[in-house]
Structure 1
Amino acid sequence: MLTFADQAIPYYNTLIAPANLPPDVGVLNPYQQPEVEHIVSEFYSRFFNDNKPRTFVLGINPGRFGAGVTGISFTTPQNLRRYCGIENDLRDTPELSSRFIYQVVEAFGGATEFYRHFFLTSLFPLALTKAGKNYNFYDDRATTKALWPAITETVRTQTQFGYNRKVAVCLGRKNESYLRRLNDQQGFFDRIVTLDHPRYILQYKTKDMPMYLERYIAILHECIE
């Protein structure tokens, strides 16, 4: 029987960027780089080398400084080294979402314990850019429409790795409307719970970060009980 890692590694390392995006929207595909291929293999072999179903924690699409560089959701090169024990030669990058997520990971008991229960991923697996900045798949209707079949297939394929269909965690209030629409169409999850997006928390609610961190941990524990 194939493990979660056996399925995730070839999926990511063979991802192809879509060709139907609007002309002003760019896409970053780090998985074509040998070092990222190695990182993906080491990460999933270390944390997902089993058949245990994971609870999905779904973001929007990667940022250009997180998974857009490392290939690992919400994970910068430095956090890959510091919290996951995976050495790499990638340049350190600033990424607010990764800072908060790895505070969550540490509060939950560290990377091994966190990833034993959860799979961090996104509705669309590749980073999008516009005018050199991060871009979300829902920022314009044409991009959303162009990517909707790929989003559907992304989530469908990843659930086949092994997932807890009883509940999914959605990151981002606006993202929630799209995940619920997808779930209404496909029936992937029985229930969806939503948390404020890490970038929103660090950009606008820094003073309240301990409260948000506590909220994250409480919801995550509820999802695996």
Structure 2
Amino acid sequence: MTTFANKAIAYYNALAAPANLPPDIGVMNPFPKPAVQQIVEEFYTKFFDDNKPRVFVLGINPGRFGAGVTGISFTTPQNLRRYCGIDNDLRDTPELSSRFIYRIVEAFGGAKEFYSQFFLTSLFPLALTKDNKNYNFYDDRATTEALWPAITHEVKTQLNFGYNRRVAVCLGRKNETYLRRLNDQQGFFDRIVTLDHPRYILQYKSKDAPLYLERYIATLQECVEET
């Protein structure tokens, strides 16, 4: 039986960086590294070894301190150990988004329960950099246009892991513009709901983080009930 885990592991092990990006845009691809391949296999085998469709929760593209290091969306090395029970020798990294996301994971009863219902991913699955800083695929038109075929292909391929088409969750208000454009072109999801991006919340609205946390939990719970 081919499971969600089998498909995800094979996908990430074969993931390659596009060659057509503007010359000043870098790509971080951690997946050829043996340590990351081991993490990916352990993570997906532990939490996705079934055929249950998940609600897709889609960010922009990974940060260089989260999935850019571990290969697991919104997950730093230390959160991989602390919340997922997956040991690793990777250096701990600072990542605001991961900090917020794992508060959500814990609110749902922990990683096992959360990942039985949701799949965290991004429109583009590899971290982008410019001048050694995080970069978003939509930060300039040339990068967006260069990556759009890849974004379409990568999202479509990941949906084959096993997804619930009734609803998707978009992280980031600007990201919503591009996910809706993609959905208008491809018809992947019946409905899209949008939440503010975790990085935005902790960087600019940290005093209101408890309110955003409640909003996340309520929205995600509604998505589960809808499906």
TM-score scaled to structure 1, two decimals? 1.00
Q: 1:151 is paired with a residue of what secondary structure?
A: helix
1:32: Cα distance to partner? 1.0
1:118-158 CA distance string (max 9 Å, x none): 00000000000000000000000000000000000111001
**Structure 1 counterpart of 2:152:** 152
Which residue number corresponds to residue 185 of structure 1? 185
Report how far residue 13 of structure 1 moved. Answer: 1.1
| Separation in 2, partners of 1:170, 1:154 | 16
Structure 2 residue 66 is the aligned partner of structure 1 residue 74: no
Q: How does 1:67-106 map to 2 (within 5 A)?
A: 67-106=67-106
1:5 corresponds to 2:5: yes
- Residues 88-136 of structure 1: CA distance to partner in whole angstroms, max 9, x if unpaired? 0000000000000000100111000000000000000000000000000
Aligned-residue offset at 1:85: 0.1
Q: Which residue of 2 aligns with 1:171?
A: 171
Partner Cα distance (2:22, 2:28) in 1: 14
2:214 — aligned with what?
Answer: 214
Residue type of the partner of 1:193?
A: V
SS for the counterpart of 1:35 is helix
Give the SS at the match of 1:138.
coil
Read off the aligned partner of 1:14 and give its amino acid letter.
A
SS in structure 2 opposite 1:145? helix
CA separation in 1, counterparts of 2:36 and 2:17? 16
Structure 2 residue 127 is matched with structure 1 residue 119? no
SS of corresponding position for 2:104: helix
Find out whether 1:195 has 2:183 as its counterpart.
Answer: no
Q: Secondary structure at the match of 1:175?
A: helix
Q: TM-score, normalised by structure 2?
A: 0.99
Q: Tell me the SS of whatever aligns to 2:194.
A: strand
Q: Shift of residue 21 of structure 1?
A: 0.2
Q: Which runs of 5+ in 2 are unaligned?
A: none
Work out the CA distance in 1 between the residues paired with 2:141 and 2:125: 18
- Listed one character per residue, the Cα deviations across residues 70-99 of structure 1 (whole Å, up to 9, x for unaligned) are 000000000000000000000000000000
For residues 159 and 15 of structure 1, what CA distance do their matches in structure 2 show?
Answer: 15
2: distance between equivalents of 1:176 and 1:19?
A: 26
Runs (4 or more) in structure 1 with deviation over 3 Å come to none
2: CA distance, partners of 1:85 / 1:38: 14
CA distance in 2, matches of 1:49, 1:108: 19
What is the total number of aligned residue pairs between the two structures?
225
Alpha-carbon RMSD across the aligned residues, in angstroms, is 0.4
Partner AA of 1:13 in structure 2: N
Q: What letter is aligned with 2:169?
A: V
The one-letter amino acid paired with 1:154 is E
Match of 2:64 in 1: 64
The reply to whether residue 138 of structure 1 matches residue 138 of structure 2 is yes
Q: What amino acid does structure 2 have at the position aligned with 1:33? A: K
Give the deviation of 1:195 after TM superposition.
0.2
Once the two structures are superposed, what CA deviation does each residue of 1:1-41 show, in whole Å capped at 9, x if it has no partner? 31000100010011111000000000000001000000000
Residue 194 of structure 1, CA deviation: 0.1
Residues 43-54 of structure 1 correspond to what in structure 2 (within 5 A)?
43-54=43-54
